[in-house]
A and B are shown apart, each in its own frame.
Chain A
């Protein structure tokens, strides 16, 4: 996995580069966006500081996203104003404000790579399930049987996998999977689907371990 990293502060750059390399990523670090153009192909993910000398991070990020729509971009910024975040998230996949924890950055890198089906291995393990993201197969490693999901169940599960560790509200889930505006009665539909999904993937559907219920808020699948 090759990561393109732009950061003008030498100390932070060195720290992040070393940290990500210790996690098994290959990191190319540049201190400005001026010398990039011919070399930006072949990266799996870009980490971009907003305040760069010369070309600013927002313009550079937009340009990169236009050229390589399949490359996730994480903005790293000392600007915490909501306007800046919103501007960044218009094209970037994520926005992290300084001072950040290196662990959090690494976690987000992992999540975004997985979202674009680019993770280190195409196989993902969640408790007793082994999920092959290339072939979309789900294997129960205890019984060694493949679990077959219906269309909606699969869509829901896939959406969880793309947002691992993130709490998804019932509105978000319903609107993404059904593509409809959420209205109050839709909660029942969603609950029914999640119950059937749990019956297929959980060891004990009455005490779910994979799809957690966060009371009053939504659901979460931890990676």
Chain B
């Protein structure tokens, strides 16, 4: 970043301008206002100054010495044309007023001595500026007079100042406005870029990580943008690593599961062969127990791995709107043959109206599986299970010997822990009521349900 690009530098420049505003802008305004005027006006006026006019008038008068009246008249006419707004007349050697040019006042036909003195007194240092010149060197050959408004003879700057006072104020205001505008633009551009950065931070892609931003300028905000981008990159990287890790973990668990299930399958295969060799009732019963234990072990493996994933937060919950009547009916249809095999009567109490719950269907299925598994394993002697759905609860009721009895058999434990984790994570609530004659489990939808924790 170059020093002159920094916001700090720019801000310092603005402060400096603000402090120096009057001392710098006043002369600046004068320069801008007058200099063009001075140059332009010089070219357009025949008047150059008081002295110049006096000299010109005397030299003209000398030149007209002894000339005929008509020549004098003609020359004075020319001068009147050359100097606009001038008033000219001449008086001959007899004291008679001769020709007047653009003269606005009244003149006597014959100049008396008192009048002449009065005229000279009035004209001295007065406005209009008056020049009186004798025609020639001799004082008795008459005189000629020119009167010009003083303003026309002042130096140009002076002459302009009246009309240009307004211009001065306007230019001064213009400078002030320009300064205000520049400050505004400066602040606005910073504000805009900050807002853009804020929006970029808030906007998220599907992964929940903001997108990188285009770097606008290499100043302090540009540096923030740069850091922001490297942060986004770091987040992206860690998310990818996390996905990678999750995949590896799942892979590992799938492999472990495979490694345990394969020998279990082999055991079952051999069990099958033995079954054909053994005829005694006791032997058959033992084989059946082994067979049940294989299922038990395999279920345990499932639960163990699910628990590992769940507790590590690697079994994400994906909520959906699920029609529970239909969902439970289908789950029950899947379980019916197993329950039937164990002579467990199934009673379903669904609702007439569609009941939508916002849950993860895979998780709900898992919960139902675990609960019915428990009924088959630990409440078989009740020979009954009722699943009912009310407005906001899902109820599982069996007539087994109750939970206190069941919990003595390890294995129910992890299944229940998984149910507990899943229920709570989906924002539901559950409760177990267990007596010696049966267990009832309530899963409740709360008002706050509908989002993963």
Q: Does B424 contact A (CB under 8 A)?
A: no
Minimal beta-carbon separation of A28 from chain B (angstroms)? 19
- A interface residues with partner B (beta carbon < 8 Å): 9, 11-12, 14-16, 19, 51, 78-82, 84, 97-102, 165-172, 182, 184, 214-218, 220
**Nearest 4 interchain pairs by C-beta:** A216-B348, A15-B269, A78-B261, A78-B258
**Contact assessment for B269 and A217 in the assembled complex, using a CB-CB cutoff below 8 Å:** no
Q: Of B44-52, B105-113, B325-333, which binds chain A?
A: B325-333
Minimal beta-carbon separation of B310 from chain A (angstroms)? 12
Minimal beta-carbon separation of B382 from chain A (angstroms)? 18
Within 8 A of A (CB), among B322-361: 326, 329-330, 332-334, 336-337, 346-350, 352-354
Minimal beta-carbon separation of A14 from chain B (angstroms)? 8
Minimal beta-carbon separation of B34 from chain A (angstroms)? 86
Please name all residues of chain A whose beta carbon is closer than 8 Å to the beta carbon of B336 when the two chains form the complex. 167, 214, 217, 220
Alpha-carbon gap, A51 to B260, bound state (A):
13
Alpha-carbon gap, A167 to B266, bound state (A):
30
Alpha-carbon gap, A14 to B266, bound state (A):
10
**Contact assessment for B265 and A171 in the assembled complex, using a CB-CB cutoff below 8 Å:** no
**Which of B253, B266, B305, B326 meets A12, CB within 8 Å?**
B266
Beyond A97-B298, A100-B265, A167-B337, 20 extra complex contacts between A and B, CB < 8 Å = A9-B265, A11-B269, A12-B262, A12-B266, A12-B269, A15-B273, A19-B272, A78-B257, A79-B258, A80-B261, A98-B298, A165-B337, A169-B326, A171-B326, A214-B336, A216-B329, A216-B347, A216-B349, A216-B350, A217-B333
Alpha-carbon gap, A78 to B305, bound state (A):
13
Total cross-chain contacts (CB, 8 A): 105
Contact A98-B265, Cβ < 8 Å, known A78-B257, A169-B326, A215-B347 = yes
Alpha-carbon gap, A79 to B265, bound state (A):
13
Cβ-closest chain B residue relative to A182: B326
Alpha-carbon gap, A168 to B295, bound state (A):
25
Q: Does B250 contact A (CB under 8 A)?
A: yes
Cβ-closest chain B residue relative to A12: B265
Please name all residues of chain B whose beta carbon is closer than 8 Å to the beta carbon of A97 when the two chains form the complex. 261, 298
Most chain B Cβ neighbours within 10 Å, of A15, A98, A100, A172: A98
**Contact assessment for A99 and B258 in the assembled complex, using a CB-CB cutoff below 8 Å:** no
**Which of B267, B329, B365 meets A171, CB within 8 Å?**
B329
Please name all residues of chain B whose beta carbon is closer than 8 Å to the beta carbon of A19 when the two chains form the complex. 272
**Contact assessment for B262 and A78 in the assembled complex, using a CB-CB cutoff below 8 Å:** yes
Please name all residues of chain B whose beta carbon is closer than 8 Å to the beta carbon of A220 when the two chains form the complex. 336
Pick 11 A–B contacts, CB within 8 A, sort by A: A9-B265, A15-B272, A51-B258, A81-B253, A97-B261, A98-B264, A99-B261, A99-B264, A99-B268, A99-B295, A100-B265
**Contact assessment for B298 and A99 in the assembled complex, using a CB-CB cutoff below 8 Å:** yes
Minimal beta-carbon separation of B263 from chain A (angstroms)? 9
Most chain A Cβ neighbours within 10 Å, of B258, B273, B337, B347: B258
**Contact assessment for A214 and B333 in the assembled complex, using a CB-CB cutoff below 8 Å:** yes
**Which of A9, A81, A102, A218 meets B272, CB within 8 Å?**
A102
Alpha-carbon gap, A182 to B260, bound state (A):
42
Please name all residues of chain B whose beta carbon is closer than 8 Å to the beta carbon of A102 when the two chains form the complex. 268-269, 272
Cβ-closest chain B residue relative to A169: B329
Q: Does B161 contact A (CB under 8 A)?
A: no
Please name all residues of chain A whose beta carbon is closer than 8 Å to the beta carbon of B346 when the two chains form the complex. 214-217
Alpha-carbon gap, A16 to B272, bound state (A):
11
Q: Does B302 contact A (CB under 8 A)?
A: yes
Q: Does B17 contact A (CB under 8 A)?
A: no
Q: Does B254 contact A (CB under 8 A)?
A: yes
**Contact assessment for A79 and B254 in the assembled complex, using a CB-CB cutoff below 8 Å:** yes
Within 8 A of A (CB), among B271-290: 272-273
Minimal beta-carbon separation of A174 from chain B (angstroms)? 11
Minimal beta-carbon separation of B257 from chain A (angstroms)? 6
**Contact assessment for B330 and A169 in the assembled complex, using a CB-CB cutoff below 8 Å:** yes
Q: Does B362 contact A (CB under 8 A)?
A: yes
Cβ-closest chain A residue relative to B258: A78
**Which of B272, B298, B348 meets A217, CB within 8 Å?**
B348
Please name all residues of chain A whose beta carbon is closer than 8 Å to the beta carbon of B348 when the two chains form the complex. 215-217
**Contact assessment for A79 and B333 in the assembled complex, using a CB-CB cutoff below 8 Å:** no
Please name all residues of chain A whose beta carbon is closer than 8 Å to the beta carbon of B333 when the two chains form the complex. 166-169, 214, 217-218
Alpha-carbon gap, A199 to B278, bound state (A):
46
Please name all residues of chain A whose beta carbon is closer than 8 Å to the beta carbon of B347 when the two chains form the complex. 215-216
Contact A82-B294, Cβ < 8 Å, known A184-B354, A214-B333, A217-B346 = no
**Contact assessment for B268 and A101 in the assembled complex, using a CB-CB cutoff below 8 Å:** yes
